[in-house]
Structures are given as structure tokens and as C-alpha cells.
Amino acid sequence: MECSQTSPYDRLHRQSVHKYNMIQHRSDTMPRIASRARPVSGTLIPSFCFETIGEMANYAAHIVAGLVRERAALGQRTVIGLPAGSTPLATLREVIRLHREEGLDLSSVVLFLLDEFYGLPADSPQSHRLWLQRQLLDHVNIPADQVYFLDGQLHPSDVDLHCRRFDEAIQHAGGFDLVLLGIGINGHIGYNEPFSVKKSRTRLCTLDPITRRGVASDFFGEENVPMQAMTVGLSGILSARRVLLLAIGEHKAKIIAEALEKPTTDRVPASYLQEHGDVRVLLDGPASSLLKGASMPWLLGNVTWDDDLVKRATLWLCNQTGKALLKLDADDFRAHDLHQLLRHHGPAEVIAQKVFRWMLDTIDYHPAGTSPKKTLCFSPHPDDDVISMGGTLIRLIEDGHDVHIAYMTSGNIAVFDHDARRVAELVADYNQLFQIERDRSSQLASDVKQAIDQKRPGHPDNEALLKIKGLIRQSEARAAAIAIGCKEANLYFLDLPFYRTGTIAKNPVGAEDIAIIEDLLMRTSPDQIYVAGDLADPHGTHRVCAEAIFAALLNMRSRNEKTPDVLLYRGAWQEYPLHEIEIAVPLSPGDLALKRQSIFMHESQKDKALFPGSDPREFWQRAEDRNRGTADAYNRVGLPEFFALEAFSRWKWNPI
């Protein structure tokens, strides 16, 4: 049964939407946007889908701001529970903007951090307390004595008492007015892992292996992740008067579908939110992609059949029946609840033929055309270009286009210490052999060895190490680009400032980042650009790079300057679903072999990468499997059979 959309949130919801629509402000770096929240039908919790993470963040931040202002006007404090992590980060940044630019007074807020790693040194960069201090408290006027943290440094004998007093502090403050939550891919909220007891209180818990793997990149390796954490219990979270649950990215889609569409179970702690009287779930498109109301709305009732939905439903039908497009018949449509589509757009043969032509038109051997053009590929990290679209770059070069590649960040945090040490020692030996500045290079090699030996697990590198690691990535990127035929003079290493933190957490994109991109676009004046389209990347680098490029393009368009055609590609993790692909570039066995050779040039990422994610395959294997998988998907729906395909969509020039 679909949950009612009526709750005390409705007033704040209406106020927030009105606030978005009235916003005329434009910050120094990013244009403001209006909310386009779409209710998702069929869920057991009221859920809303947003076009972008920015829109979701604006919506959530204005819900927070509205509640704070409403209660402050009544002389009341607002008690908020907040998690750490990448999910709430954009929301916190919007709260900070509201405080700085629109006068949001947060002095009446009482804040409780919901969780903390246990046994982690207080000065560790992964400390949730330090994260909250840097990401919010340093920028707003919440009094220090109104902020409560769990203490992960306590002796084991003191933990139970500390947890009881933390619960008492929440009750003494009046209980949570609002809890903001993320969700783990195993369904945890806070650090209430699968099979947590619904009546659980604040406590010390053992982290699920999936949770530890999910935060491994923050610690520069899973082996550095603590085994335990402290967390506010499910009882404390579920007793909040209001809850906002945020989810971002395709990797959250499966657990979101389980939590919102299936019965409650202790295996998915987030599912208990179904029993809460005032909760809303905010999703981006990828996180909602497995919900029926978002991906298969025709199964829930009448829909408006535009071309995009016709394509999606018909391709879905191919998958359900195992048939190619031109083999679908009327019985297939009726047997899978597509009567309405058949009535309004049938007969079945007409629908299938139309979608077949649409998909056939996506196949393009010459994505930039056949007349010479200048193309520019933006690569967020130094290997995204060849991993994600190496075959297309080969094709562009073969077609005689002037191909340029811009590497947006150094990628220096993704290099193993032993590689940096090896390079430092190699340079020292090289200089010793050829009698070139022997003393300085030997001293540097010694300093690098000492820095590595003294570095604590999970802590960032010093400046020298970061420079060496950046140089390694740069040399590998240059070799890979040359391997596919790109001219060395057409390579640009932008080293955008937002990335230069030396840690996983990055700074927000600033005016300097956008100016660097604008300058490159103005200097090169490309006819076509390629952008990593992972707009739901929760950890940020791909998404932030894309947003910076879009901001630069919008700035140029506002000045009536020439802007290029923009194609989006996906990173190493996922591919576009068939219905979203607008250009598919066929690759021959030779193209794929050369692409593999170029990926091999990234030796520091070969065999075992520092941040491989949860996928055990090497990057070249992921790339080849994806490209062949896309070709197989085309073949299964009855399109021409190719060896491999690289897929792209077009940027629609919507505000970011």
C-alpha cells in the first residue's frame, strides 16, 4: 500500500519549494537552481526524486532552515541528529550558504553527531568529530556547548556509561526534532548494522565487513578501518519527530528498493523507517533507479507516454521476455501490464519498429563527424580518458580530428607509497650515475623513505610525497595518451585547486577551478567536448569536475561566446542503461587491444589499485567487460552485433 503523502512536513515542503522558486541569488561559483522534486509512487515511505544532488541538497537544507526558523520564532531550540559522510555534505554546504548569505541564525540549534569510530586517534582525518568541525561548525554560529559528540577514545570500561549519558543528553534537550540520515549499501542507518535490535540504544557496535569496505578509501586501505564504532541506536533515531533520509548514487539503488518497497526486516535496519509517522526520503535519479515508481511507473497505474518512456518500457519488455525488439507481439505487451502503451501507441509492431529505429540511430562510427574538428576530452583523474572512452579517442584520431585531453586533477592520492619510494630512489640513482645533483636527490630519497616509515595508517602524505605521486600519474597519463596516437602538445594537466587536499575529502569547487576550465575552453575553442557524466558520484571528484565544466560553459553562454557540443561518458564503475544511450561507438578487436595497451601504461593502477572499490577486476577488465556487455545488450534487442561499444549521452544544457 502506498504511504500517504500527508504529514507535518507538508507545510515545510511547500515553503521550501516556494523558497527555491523565488531564489534569484547567484553565488560566485555556481548558479542557483529551482527545485524539481518528483514524488515517487509505490513506496512505503514518502519519497522524492531530484534531477541533481545540488537540488536535493537545496531542498534538504531549506527543510532544515525552515524548521530552525519556525521553532526559533516560538522561542524554542531545534535538536538535530546528524551523520558524517559524503551523503549530507552538499546539504551542509547549502546550510552554510544560507547562514552566510541569507542570515540563517543557527544559534538555537542543538546538534548531536550520530556516530563515531571507536579507537581512532582524536586527530585522525577520518574522525567524525573532526569532519563535523571542518564541514559545518567552523562556518556557522552553533554554540560549542550545544554540540554533542560520542567519544571514541574512551576506555572500554567507560563506554556503557558514556552511551547512557549521551541518550540522557538527547532526552534532556527534548528529543530529536529532526534526524538527517544516509543509508549504507547494507541498509544501516547511523552504524546500526543489519540485525540491529529496533529498541537498541546508543552503544558500541562491531562494523559489518560491507561497511568497512565502503569506507576503506577514506582510510587508504580496508586494513586501516576500525573494527568498531559508537552509534545512536535505532530507538533514538526512530523516536525523532521528523526524519530525512538521503541517498545518492547507483550503488544505493538496490538497498533503497528493499528499504522502501519491501516489508520491514532487521536485515535492513532502514526499513524500520516505514513505521515512522513523519519521514521523507530524498533520492537522486540513480539511487531511485530500481524503484518501480521511478523505473517502471507503468506497473503502478496510468502514465503519460512520451518518447523516453515508450523507449524505456519497450526495452524493459525485451529484457522481461528475452525477445529482440522486432519479435515482440501484442501478447507480450499485455502479459506484462503494458496494455495502455499498446492502446495509445500500438499496434505492437509499430511500437517495436519505432524503438528499433531509435536505437539503430544511436550507432555512430564517427561521433564527431567526418570533417576535421577539434575535440577536447576532460578526464577527472589521469586515467579516466582511456578507461572510459579510449576506443572513441582512437576513432577520433583515426578520423583526422584534432584531439586534446585535459587531466583535471593530479590523482596523487591513488598511488602506493612503495611506488613513490621506488621513483625517488630511481631518480637518486639516475643522478648518481650521471653525476647530476647527486646530494639533493639522495637527500630527497632519504626524506621520502623517512616520511613513509613515519606516516601513521590512514594519514595523508606530506607535500613531497604528493608531488612525486602526482608526477607518477602525470607521466603515466602522457604515455597512455601517446599510445593511442594523441599529440603530447595537446595534453593539459590542470591540477584543479579543489582537489589539492591530500585526502579523500575535497574542497568545494571554487571560482579559481571554474576560471581554469574557462581559460582552457577559450584557448582551445573545441567543437566538441567529452565530460565524465557520473553526476551521482557521491564521493565527488567526477561529479564536481562535471559541475565545474558545466558552470564554465554556462558562464560562456551567458556572454554569448561559442560553446561546444557536450557528450557525457561514464566512469569505470557503471554504464548507461540502454534507454539513456544516445551515441554508441563501435570498437573493433584492434581498437579494444590498443585501448587495453594504453590502460596498461597506468602502471601505478595496474594489478592492484589503491582505491579499487568493491569490484575485484582490474580497470582494463572492467572497461572491456563493460564495452562488450554494451555490445551484447544491443545484440539481445536485435540490433547489429558488434565486438564492443562505448556509450555516450548528451548534456541538455540544464542549469546544474
Q: Grade residue 144 by pLDDT with cuts at 50, 70 and 90.
A: very high
Which positions ≥6 away from 453 have C-beta within 8 Å? none
8 A C-beta contact, residue 299 and residue 337: yes
Question: How open is the CA angle 552-554-558, to the nearest 5 degrees?
Answer: 120
Share of the chain above pLDDT 90, in %: 77
8 A C-beta contact, residue 88 and residue 82: yes
- CA-CA distance, 218 to 381, in Å (whole number)? 17
Return the C-alpha cell found at 344. 495509445
At residue 1, does pLDDT exceed 60? Answer: no
Share the mean pLDDT of the chain: 91
Q: Grade residue 317 by pLDDT with cuts at 50, 70 and 90.
A: very high
Nearest Cα to Cα of residue 393 among 378, 377, 382 = 377
Q: Which residue has the cell 574522525?
A: 127
**Which listed CATH number (1.10.3720.10, 3.40.50.720, 3.40.50.10320, 3.50.50.60) goes with 374-413+464-650?**
3.40.50.10320
At residue 90, does pLDDT exceed 80? Answer: yes
What is the per-residue pLDDT for 617? 84
Asked if the domains at 43-293 and 374-413+464-650 fall in one CATH topology, the answer is yes
For residue 324, what are the CA distances in angstroms to 243, 492, 547, 551?
45, 44, 37, 41
Q: Which of 51, 55, 116, 193 is catalytic?
A: 193
In the chain, what are the domain boundaries? 43-293, 300-360, 374-413+464-650
8 A C-beta contact, residue 298 and residue 340: yes
- Across the range 35-58, mean pLDDT stands at 90
Q: Grade residue 322 by pLDDT with cuts at 50, 70 and 90.
A: very high
Give residue-wise pLDDT tens across range 582-614. Answer: 999 999 999 999 999 999 999 999 887 766 666
Question: How open is the CA angle 325-331-336, to the nearest 5 degrees?
Answer: 80
Comparing 578 with 539, which gets the higher pLDDT?
Answer: 578
For residue 74, what are the CA distances in angstroms to 65, 69, 110, 582?
14, 9, 16, 53
At residue 509, does pLDDT exceed 50? Answer: yes
How far separated are the first and last CA of the chain, in Å rounded?
35
What is the per-residue pLDDT for 458? 77
Comparing 223 with 360, which gets the higher pLDDT?
Answer: 360
Q: Grade residue 93 by pLDDT with cuts at 50, 70 and 90.
A: very high
- Across the range 356-385, mean pLDDT stands at 97
Q: Peptide bond preceding 347: is omega within 30 degrees of 0, i.e. cis? A: yes
At residue 28, does pLDDT exceed 90? Answer: no
- DSSP assignment string, 64-89: HHHHHHHHHHTT--EEEEE--SSTTH
What is the per-residue pLDDT for 460? 83
Catalytic residue flag (residue 561): no
Which positions ≥6 away from 26 have C-beta within 8 Å? 32
For CA atoms 350, 354, 359, 360, the dihedral sign is positive
Share of the chain above pLDDT 70, in %: 92
- CA-CA distance, 489 to 491, in Å (whole number)? 6
Q: Residue 575 carries which side chain, given as an amino acid letter?
A: E
Q: Grade residue 472 by pLDDT with cuts at 50, 70 and 90.
A: very high
At residue 656, does pLDDT exceed 50? Answer: no
At residue 504, does pLDDT exceed 80? Answer: no
| Domain 43-293 CATH assignment equals 3.40.50.1360 | yes
At residue 7, does pLDDT exceed 60? Answer: no
Give residue-wise pLDDT tens across range 300-310. Answer: 988 999 999 99
SS3 content of the chain, % helix, strand, coil (to 5): 50, 15, 40
- Residues paired with 374 in a beta bridge: 402
Alpha helices in 336-437 (DSSP H): 339-345, 348-360, 384-398, 417-433
pTM exceeding 0.95: no
